Structure 1
């Protein structure tokens, strides 16, 4: 008999989340990518979370958040993708959204937040400064603070990806690790329904706080981050999220910046996918440990495609027009 992992998440609520999430975010493509697998030395299936209106998996969680809102307004801190998703989910439901982001966030993400009708407030510093400002706005205005990964709706919305992975027998699933919503969500489902699948979380070496926390089994913060993978560049893990991650993750690994860029290039060359750096973390993990995954069937969750094109061209250095 399968043992359900003891986390904050609930499989019944995760299954119910599918009924409130707009179908445009559900049943995203999942397919074997033989050319990518040949390049990596293992069987690779791609779970494509960029084929939706906000080009990331975040819409799954914001749909659950907004469907349960009792007030007319909400605020969140965002590296870019959550803000877009919250704005998209709110705009047809009469909810006013404020997004707080760093001035250094990719311009393309900031532009899309504005285009979706959210009020955008920029702060100096990084995501954690943006989070502090969002908390202050929520307290002052008396509105809902949406905290990615801490709010169960964001985790259980992301967990619906896990439901869609269950029909294919994988040896391992590689998941980008930032705040932890996607990793804890998918991990909870897999450990509930397919406990033999290895759940491997991947984070940049330049933003290692959650991975260090997982290994030390306590919250470890860092003073700064240095990575092109802006979507996962947090410094202060959330205790409750770490507790869940400790239950459902089999491993958490760090990868180098050059491996992230190489992963982006492989996804372009062998899968025809233009992805943001966070979405290439799983491929980077295989590149750095080919022997571990050799001959195995791995699923790579391609979690975001909101890429700054000038930066993308610089990173890949291949003369794209």
Structure 2
């Protein structure tokens, strides 16, 4: 694996992430690690789920949004902030903006779950629903930025946002220092870019495995072809990672710091949502269950003794539960059926 620290320079470093972690510690939740004997026995290793679905606003995005806004001057905050988001970044920016006294305008795809739309508005943001995908909402937000003079807070392609997301790894590896592998969901790549740099800063031997939905696999295609690939359309229940185009800044970091990128189907994601709900009594959204689905699917190919799994969010649209159950039918891990009486 090649490291290109000179290319990134001071924009994203392990030390910067460490300092961000110390600054954010009094603000963000120190989310728990969930362990399960059932999962351990299924995949033949110790597994530690980092429960960012229990973070403020229900997702890890609050970390990156808060750290980004903390870098702005008073004058910039007075101008307000603008972004586009499929939901979780929207809530993170809205809440961070309210805490820092800034106005927030957020563009979201028309199909965004209503729970995420209502939550974003309840945090005080002005929400504009437009377009069928994140990319279309993003283009609309960029056009508005030219007119408004507001500060743009990109959901993933921003080094300060990546830095904030990377604090998850700083926290995770202090909660359990034996972890040798981390599974991370990928949309545009901001989460895994920050986590990968933080992990390699602490221990270069830690494997960082990215997991994408097969219906939104632009970063998977880019990683394995070693050049930027765009998807003409995306189709996945994991709306939080339904991104057509990898980040221009995140892709080189992922290319050089991440050990592998794999994909999982919507059926595997749905099965993981149900598994977490039935076995561990916790609700995850599609994107939040993607890394666990990756562990279930690839544990035989990716050796590890102590594996971290980033459960990135829990803002699930409960109206989709019947769809999740239908998708998961026949894809639930066989081992779970055999071990119904096992303690967690």
Which TM-score band applies after superposition, normalised by the shorter structure? over 0.9
Deviations 1:73-117 (A, max 9, x none): 000000000010101011122100000001101111011011111
Partner of 1:80: 87
Partner of 1:9: 12
Stretches of structure 2 that go unaligned for 5 or more consecutive residues are: 329-344
- Aligned 1:1-321 pairs, distance under 5 A: 5-6=5-6, 7=8, 8-21=11-24, 23-70=26-73, 71=76, 72=78, 73-167=80-174, 168-293=177-302, 296-316=305-325
Stretches of structure 1 that go unaligned for 5 or more consecutive residues are: none
Equivalent pair of 2:35/2:47 in contact (CA under 8 Å): yes
Separation in structure 2 between the aligned mates of residue 136 and residue 305 of structure 1, nearest angstrom: 31
Q: CA deviation at 1:295?
A: 6.5
For normalisation by structure 2, the TM-score amounts to 0.87
Moved more, 40-49 or 95-104: 40-49
Larger helix fraction of residues: 2
Q: CA deviation at 1:199?
A: 0.4
Q: CA deviation at 1:5?
A: 4.5
Equivalent pair of 1:175/1:301 in contact (CA under 8 Å): yes
- Alignment partner of 1:76: what SS? strand
Evaluate the alpha carbon distance shift between residue 242 and residue 62 of structure 1 in structure 2; reply closer, same or farther with a 3 A threshold.
same
Equivalent pair of 2:181/2:304 in contact (CA under 8 Å): no
Separation in structure 1 between the aligned mates of residue 261 and residue 129 of structure 2, nearest angstrom: 32
Q: CA deviation at 1:35?
A: 2.3
- Alignment partner of 1:292: what SS? coil
Evaluate the alpha carbon distance shift between residue 11 and residue 4 of structure 1 in structure 2; reply closer, same or farther with a 3 A threshold.
farther
Separation in structure 2 between the aligned mates of residue 304 and residue 79 of structure 1, nearest angstrom: 12
- Alignment partner of 2:188: what SS? coil
Q: CA RMSD in A?
A: 1.8
Matched positions, count: 316
Separation in structure 1 between the aligned mates of residue 321 and residue 269 of structure 2, nearest angstrom: 12
Separation in structure 2 between the aligned mates of residue 41 and residue 16 of structure 1, nearest angstrom: 35
